[in-house]
Amino acid sequence: MMTTGTVFLIDDEESMRMSVSQWLSLSDFHVDCFADAQSALKQIDAGFDGVVVSDIRMPGMDGLELLRTVLQLDDEIPVVLITAHGDIPMAVSAIREGAYDFLEKPFSPEILLETVKRAGEKRSLILENRKLRQQLTRVSGIEGKLLGNSDAIQVLHREIRDLGPTDASVFLVGETGCGKEVVAQCLHEASTRRDGPFVAINCGAIPENLFESEIFGHESGAFTGAHSRRIGKFESANHGTLFLDEVTAMPPNLQVKVLRALQERVIERLGGNQLIPFDTRIISATNSNPLKACMAGSFREDLYYRLNVAEIDIPPLRKRASDILLLFEYFSMRAAERYKRDIPSLPSEAIAILMAYRWPGNVRELKNAAERYVLCSLPARDRISYILQHTGIASAQGSSLTEQMVYFERCLIEQSLRRNQGNIVKVMEELDLPRRTLNQKMQNHGLVRKEYAEGRQ
Ligand SMILES: Nc1ncnc2c1ncn2[C@@H]1O[C@H](COP(=O)(O)OP(=O)(O)OP(=O)(O)O)[C@@H](O)[C@H]1O
Ligand SMILES: [Mg+2]
């Protein structure tokens, strides 16, 4: 039989233990009874997956002391205290010390059940998020930086591992917010230059008259206002990587100079007369089609081919829908940590909305949505409409219903696999699917059990 959760019930009075445990057992809780705090404590550790319900007044260690000891083990274990009738000041101080809630004697079975259920749900959520956090912190390197389970992300990881260690100039193409800068940093970290600098310059954001000094540097007195020598980006990225972001927006007269610098492998500071060799790997990026910019004449074709020894296309988020939930959970977890908030649960309606949305701002937009979701203090259900309004999801043109349903199904199975670390029996139970159907669906969605098994790198 499936249980709703575990409850440790501690009371020195046998009759109380009997009645309370009976009520809870009738609602499918698994109840362990203890006559004193010490013997319960022996079985509680930091990962305790349940709720502690304890009387306050007991001989030996009392409920408040038990509360303190439990919270020292893990301050997120919910402890519900049972207080004598009229002992409100005691109850209030217990809450202040971190008790989850209190029940004033005599209490009805409904109140008990409702409190314990709420506490149990909160606990499961906390443990689940801890597990996720652990999984996410266990992965390091590229996998820990460029997150995602989709095939597209796996391909990116491979391309980064293949191209990273070469000195080849890589050209990244992808919509806004889809992770071009993350990929550029991963390439840098996968290279032998990883101990050198990673220097980024946004070619679309620098006024044309400053561009040359920004990128090549200048000597003092090179122009009015140039009081001292300045080192340009090419030089400061020496022995490292220079990331030319929005490269197609580079002013045309500068394109010639950059091309020449790349061909000769030397630069000249503005107002200087010395040729300075540099050893810098170039990674460029654009969110618009570079060939179109070439055809329109705004981007030099010879520069494009010099920068594009290898091209990496980063697909938009809507084309790798199986990453949406993982990233959303990851960013809410990070935001919850940063703002010291609880990690809100994600009801299935919310998941469906997130999956169906087209995410024109890609991962950046998703990250913002996850942060707002954590910071929003509305109850879970209203939070969803809040996200809806604030990301314009409501007006979004989704993909077809069938496509969305396929995504959604894949995502739910994937989530369950991850939660249960690839334990098929648990997934069958959770999704209430016969083995054959589950296998079939996993096969259709290209999901492989092994990839979710514990200890996977
Ligand atoms: N796969 C990913 N895993 C984790 N974080 C990601 C991933 N992709 C993107 N991000 C995060 O999303 C945000 C946007 O990513 P990034 O700045 O790399 O996008 P971009 O393609 O350079 O965007 P733009 O075109 O607007 O410059 C960043 O905060 C980045 O850390
Ligand atoms: Mg960027």
DSSP class per residue in 292-356: HHHHTTSS-HHHHHHH-SEEEEE--GGGGGGGHHHHHHHHHHHHHHHHT-------HHHHHHHHH
Average pLDDT value for the chain: 87
Query: What average pLDDT does the segment 203-221 reach?
Result: 89
Best residue among 155, 364, 365 to mutate for probing ligand 1's pocket (most ligand atoms within 8 Å of CB) is: 364
C-beta 157 within 6 A of ligand 1: no
DSSP state of 274: -
296: tokens are 């329109």
Specify whether the CB–CB gap between 262 and 218 falls below 8 A.
Answer: no
SS3 29: strand
Element (H, E) at 189: helix 180-189
Q: Terminal CA-to-CA distance of the chain, rounded, Å? A: 34
- What is the DSSP secondary-structure string of 396-437? -----HHHHHHHHHHHHHHHHHHHTTT-HHHHHHHHT--HHH
Q: 173 - beta bridge partners?
A: 286, 313
Q: Enter the pTM of the model.
A: 0.65
How many A from CA of 310 to the centre of ligand 2?
A: 19
Asked which of 38-52, 180-194, 414-428 is least confident by mean pLDDT, the reply is 414-428
Q: Are 420 and 430 in contact (CB under 8 A)?
A: yes
Q: What is the pLDDT of residue 441?
A: 92
**pLDDT tops 90 at residue 400:** no
pLDDT score at 381: 63
CA distances from 5 to 49, 118, 342 (A): 8, 11, 21
Rounded-to-integer distance, Cα 230 and Cα 91, Å: 66
Q: Is the Cα dihedral 122, 127, 132, 136 positive or negative?
A: positive
Atom of ligand 1 nearest to the CA of 153: 1
pLDDT in tens, 131-157: 776 766 666 677 778 998 889 999 999
**Which atom number of ligand 1 is nearest to the Cα of residue 172?**
21
Alpha-carbon gap, residue 215 to 207, rounded angstroms: 12
Q: Is the CB of 193 under 6 A from ligand 1?
A: no
Is ligand 1 within 6 A of the CB of residue 269?
no
Percent of the chain with pLDDT over 90: 58
Q: Which of 315, 306, 299 is nearest to 282 (CA)?
A: 306
Tell me the two tokens of residue 295: 């055809």
CA of 299 to the centre of ligand 2 (A): 19
**What is the rounded average pLDDT of the residues 12-24?**
94
Cα–ligand 2 centroid distance for 179 (angstroms):
7
Q: Is the CB of 364 under 6 A from ligand 1?
A: yes
Note the pLDDT tens digit of each residue in 343-362. 777 776 677 778 777 888 99
Provide the pLDDT confidence category of residue 393 given band limits of 50, 70 and 90: very low
**Least confident span in 16-30, 181-195, 233-247, 390-404:** 390-404
Cα(180) to centroid(ligand 1), Å: 6
**CB of residue 177 inside a 6 A radius of ligand 1:** yes
